[in-house]
Chain A
Amino acid sequence: MADILVYVPETGKHAAEVLTLGRSLGDVSAIAFDAQSAALASEYGAAKVYRVSAEGADDYFVDPKATVLADVARKTEPAAFLLPSTDEGKALAARLAVDLDNGLLTDVTGLDAEGVAEQDIFAGATITTSKITKGFTLATVKAGATEAEAAPSEPVVEDVEAEVAESDRRVRIAESVVEPAGDRPGLAEADVVVSGGRGVGSADDFALIERVADVLGGAVGASRAATDAGYYPHKFQVGQTGTTVSPQLYVAAGISGAIQHRAGMQTSKLIVAVNKDADAPIFSMADFGVVGDLFEVLPQVLEEAEKRK
């Protein structure tokens, strides 16, 4: 079977998806820099785990890990090397492409055993298929490309001891600030996302969006107009320059549906829109839409949900 390398950065839904996709193409060899990532790899069916220990790698941005990944790729000559399409995954892939002089495809939404990848371009308006013509299939995989399926395995573990070279100590991570996520599910991982836009009108009124999210067990998102106006913190922004989400249900309230917003939510399974403007572009992609005032419509939804409990 083909040897598929997968970089497993963290224990999340996205990493599990990439492992699942890799498994559909061949035998997965996962590269893990910590115990949690290694555990995720065996939960999702890796045949082999490269368990890397590199003293100090976590203190520096991108470079130390890029060097390790390039070394493993040189040694194993894989059929494919998959990374999640996160900032880090893309940065590592960029380094690999240059270091190995190998083609690169980013944000693939599907990939077959022949190396033919699917990509969404122009904010999803066009779907292309592409392949790499120089080197192995090096690709970053977009969140939501596949459904993660666990397949517990007992992988062969190979320990990799790496030294962090002076030249990889250029950009120091002096501090990592994690802003508390609260009780709701993480935006990128949530099965339900309820987003508010400029139409919500104020920070106080975002409480209504939060209540709807809580009733549906979902995360709260926001459009850029809402984050720019300070109605909701920026880290909850959905879209091209915010988080890309792909939940089972996406509710857009008081959001017009600008292309940059759609780029971050259009692969949602079901889309619901509430907007008082019948011509808002968001309705063209909605599975269910209500033309109306969100302050009338959403409280009624809460009432009904209460009754059905």
Chain B
Amino acid sequence: MNIVVLVKQVPDSGLARQLDAELRVDRNGANNVMGELDEYAVEAALQLKEAHGGEVTVLTLGPDQATETVRKTLAMGADKAVHVSDEAVAGSDALATSKILAAALGRLEWDLVIAGAESTDSGMGVMAHMLAARTGAAAATGARKIELDGDAITVEHQRENGYDVLTASLPAIVSVWDTINTPRYPSLKGIMAAKRKKVETLTVADLGIDPSEVGAGAATTEVLTAADRPERSAGQIVTDEGEGGRKLAAFLAAEKFI
């Protein structure tokens, strides 16, 4: 069982985030971390490996500093990593990102790819299906549970009012929600072991892609303007000194809710 986990480094959502002068995510000023749902993807891969054997490879596309995120996945227990890093990629849209990731997947042996259901920064929630379209693998996305039985995979696809049970044959691409597991913290032993694990660094040319096909120049979408959301006009805050509920009720009545 060879599993590839897709991991994206993103600015920490807990801190202020912004776009730079070129209207791209400012990754220099930010505290960069692993995508929140990608931690669940790594954990899901490790649990499947523990149950079924095999190898977990992490694949990331991002600037040099994404190495820190790669190290964390190796410390959690992934076996090796491929890091595609290339200046030419800056400003890529989802189509170009999927083209590069698909080419990188083409160089690896895999039965299963696990991604986050959506990234923490742009949150498009499209990558797994784009990769399925490009690789011809089955896509069973939005998982809250994954089960493997030989060549057969069963996924519980989370819906708002329930779930669908999806079945497919490998090779497959799965994406996961945070309901699927609780990601482990890297142990000290894991952190030490990670230092000896192999990280292969590739450029897009190494993947057989002409740099002019990716990056801002090739983008099929363009950001025109960016502005801070206007502050919501300051609301009325009252401190409850025995009348708080009544004041709230008066507000709700004035707004015609009661």
A291 within 8 A of partner (CB): yes
Knowing A131-B222, A173-B166, the reply to whether A300 touches B249 (Cβ < 8 A) is yes
Task: Give every chain B residue within 8 A of A175 (Cβ-Cβ).
Answer: 164-165
A290 touches B248 (CB 8 A): yes
Q: Does B239 contact A87, Cβ atoms closer than 8 Å?
A: no
Classify the secondary structure of A's interface with B: mixed
Query: Are B232 and A178 closer than 8 Å at their CB atoms?
Result: no
Interface status of A40 (Cβ within 8 A of chain B): no
Interface stretch, picked from B45-53, B127-135, B203-211, is B127-135
Identify which of A128, A176, A291, A301 contacts B252 (C-beta below 8 A): A301
Contact B13 A116 (CB under 8 A): no
Q: For A202, what are the chain B residues with a Cβ–Cβ distance below 8 Å? A: none
Tell me the minimal C-beta distance from A273 to chain B in angstroms: 8
Instruction: Check if B17 sits within 8 Å of A103, measured CB to CB.
Output: no
| 8 Å CB interface, A56-95 against B | 61-62, 87, 90-91, 93-95
The total of chain B residues at the interface (CB under 8 A) is: 80
Bound together, the chains give a CA A105 to CA B122 distance in angstroms of: 11
Q: How far is the CA of A240 from the CA of B177 in the complex (A)?
A: 10
* A1 located at the interface, meaning its Cβ lies under 8 Å from any Cβ of chain B in the complex: no
A-contact 0/1 string along B173-217, CB 8 Å cutoff: 000011100000000000000000000000000000000000000
Shortest beta-carbon distance, B19 to chain A, in Å?
A: 7
A residues near B98, Cβ cutoff 8 Å: 98
Q: Is the CB of A241 within 8 A of B220?
A: no
Which interface class (under 10, 10 to 19, 20 to 34, 35 or more) fits A? 35 or more
Query: Which one of B139, B223, B257 contacts A128 once the chains associate, using CB atoms below 8 Å?
Result: B223
Q: A127 and B229: CB pair below 8 A?
A: yes
Q: Is A243 an interface residue (CB 8 A)?
A: yes
Q: List 21 A-B contacts (CB under 8 A).
A: A87-B125, A87-B141, A87-B157, A91-B129, A104-B126, A106-B123, A127-B227, A128-B19, A128-B23, A131-B221, A132-B220, A174-B166, A176-B165, A177-B162, A235-B160, A260-B13, A272-B251, A272-B252, A278-B237, A287-B235, A301-B245
- Given A130-B223, A171-B139, A235-B160, output 11 extra A-B contacts at Cβ < 8 Å: A90-B129, A98-B98, A125-B16, A129-B224, A131-B222, A248-B257, A272-B252, A285-B232, A290-B237, A298-B245, A308-B253
Which of B's residues lie within 8 Å of A, judged by CB?
13-14, 16-19, 23, 36-37, 93-95, 98, 117, 121-130, 132-134, 138-142, 154, 157, 159-169, 172, 177-179, 219-229, 232, 235-240, 244-253, 255, 257-258
Shortest beta-carbon contacts, A-B, top 3: A300-B245, A292-B240, A103-B220
